[in-house]
């Protein structure tokens, strides 16, 4: 018998929501291992963006994948569909049988170069082409949780390119993949601190540094309030690319750790909370000096108002 790639038939079954577990158990009783529920997701607006939760619906789709030796012609698919419907009985309201779509490429490798601004490009490591005079940030999406595809990241990089000067001190609160801290070092910032609560950030940032041949970023896994408990007016630029409510909550700390003539970079702000963020900082004498928006996402640079 000639060896061949295994063939699978994909079943899509409509099931009453409260009978999902029974339907999955019956499929497993047929010897089918690959079964999953296509749970519907409901999106809702939050002050800082969007939230997600499983929607309450009367019917759900259950998908199952069964290996077969048969060539999956239309007649065979119809026979398998009929057999599955009989096996499921009244547990399945409808049954479809199709050949599953092949996955031909790892989605990671669909990440391509992103132009932040003319002359500044984010590239994956497998793209070697460079333009003349191009400044390049290399990101491997499988190894970090921030690729620059989101407008808030791109806009932070764009404003940092305008604001940050050689020798500056820079703090990245909620650093994530560390892309802002990396660029700050590339720009010549002397004192760069990337801080995040997620323990995975440390290895992600160090790997990003290695990819780009950059050193000198101080990475801390810590709570910002504890880390900066005794800090006063240390940084020329402080970035908070987390969200609008976080920018409000961190205001007292930011004003204490940034230099009086320094800049705060506030991002991850959705447009419906922007007015509140701006008003909160204005009450403390800080004004917006730059603003960028992509979709509903807003990035602000703010400085102390000159008397």
Write out pLDDT tens, residues 4-20: 455 789 999 999 988 99
Q: How far apart are CA 210 and CA 206, in angstroms?
A: 6
Q: Two tokens at 200? A: 């995975």
Distance CA 286, CA 264 (A): 9
More confident position, 109 or 298:
298
The whole-number average pLDDT for the span 37-43 is: 74
The model's confidence at residue 22, banded by pLDDT at 50, 70 and 90, is very high
Contact between 172 and 191 under an 8 Å Cβ cutoff? The reply is no
Q: CA-CA distance, 263 to 281, in Å (whole number)?
A: 12
Please name each of the domains of the chain with its CATH number: 7-98 (3.30.70), 107-304 (3.40.50.150)
What the block records as the tokens of 191 is: 């004192």
pLDDT confidence of residue 125: 81
How high is the pLDDT of residue 212?
94
Least confident of 53-67, 177-191, 245-259: 53-67
Q: Tell me the pLDDT of the chain averaged across its residues.
A: 88
**Structure tokens given for 238:** 């402080």
Separation CA 137–CA 75 (nearest Å): 53
pLDDT of residue 23: 93
Task: Out of 70-74, 142-146, 210-214, 293-297, pick the least confident.
Answer: 142-146
The DSSP string of 4-17 is: -PPEEEEEEEEEEG
Task: Say whether 126 sits in a helix, a strand or coil.
Answer: coil
Q: Residue 43's pLDDT is what? A: 67
Find the helix or strand (DSSP H, E) in which 279 lies.
Answer: helix 271-283
Q: Where are the beta strands (DSSP E) in 26-156?
A: 34-38, 41-46, 49-54, 59-68, 94-98, 114-117, 120-123, 135-138
Phi, psi of 207 (to 5 degrees): -70, -40
Give the model's pLDDT for residue 1. Answer: 35
Residue 218 has pLDDT above 50, yes or no: yes
Is residue 288 a contact partner of residue 146, using CB atoms and an 8 Å limit?
no
Residue 134, pLDDT > 70, answer yes
Contact 219, 174 (CB under 8 A): no
In the predicted structure, residue 200 carries a pLDDT above the cut 90: no
């Amino acid at each position: 018998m000639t060896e061949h790639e295994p063939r699978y038939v994909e079943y899509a079954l409509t099931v009453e929501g409260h009978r999902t577990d029974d339907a999955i158990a019956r499929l497993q009783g047929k010897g089918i291992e690959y079964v999953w529920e296509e749970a519907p997701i409901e999106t809702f607006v939050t002050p800082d963006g969007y939230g997600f939760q499983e929607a309450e619906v009367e019917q759900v789709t259950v998908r199952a994948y069964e290996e077969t030796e048969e060539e999956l012609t239309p007649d065979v698919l119809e026979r398998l569909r009929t057999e599955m419907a009989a096996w499921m009985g009244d547990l399945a309201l409808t049954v479809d049988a199709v050949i599953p779509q092949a996955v031909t490429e790892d989605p990671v490798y669909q990440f391509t170069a992103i132009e932040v601004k003319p002359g500044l490009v984010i590239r994956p490591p497998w793209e070697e082409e460079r333009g003349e005079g191009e400044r390049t940030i290399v990101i491997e999406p499988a190894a970090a949780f921030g690729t620059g595809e989101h407008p808030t990241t791109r806009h932070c990089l764009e404003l940092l390119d305008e604001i940050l000067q050689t020798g500056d001190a820079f703090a990245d609160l909620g650093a994530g993949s560390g892309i802002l801290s990396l660029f700050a070092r590339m720009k010549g910032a002397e004192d760069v601190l990337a801080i995040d609560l997620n323990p995975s950030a440390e290895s992600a940032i160090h790997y990003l540094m290695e990819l780009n041949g950059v050193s000198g970023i101080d990475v801390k896994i810590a709570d910002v309030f504890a880390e900066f408990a005794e800090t006063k007016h240390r940084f020329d630029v402080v970035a908070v690319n987390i969200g609008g409510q976080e920018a409000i909550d961190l205001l007292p700390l930011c004003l204490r750790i940034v230099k009086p003539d320094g800049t705060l970079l506030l991002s991850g702000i959705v447009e419906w909370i922007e007015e509140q963020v701006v008003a909160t900082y204005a009450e403390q004498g800080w004004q917006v000096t730059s603003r960028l928006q992509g979709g509903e996402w807003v990035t602000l640079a703010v400085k102390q108002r000159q008397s």
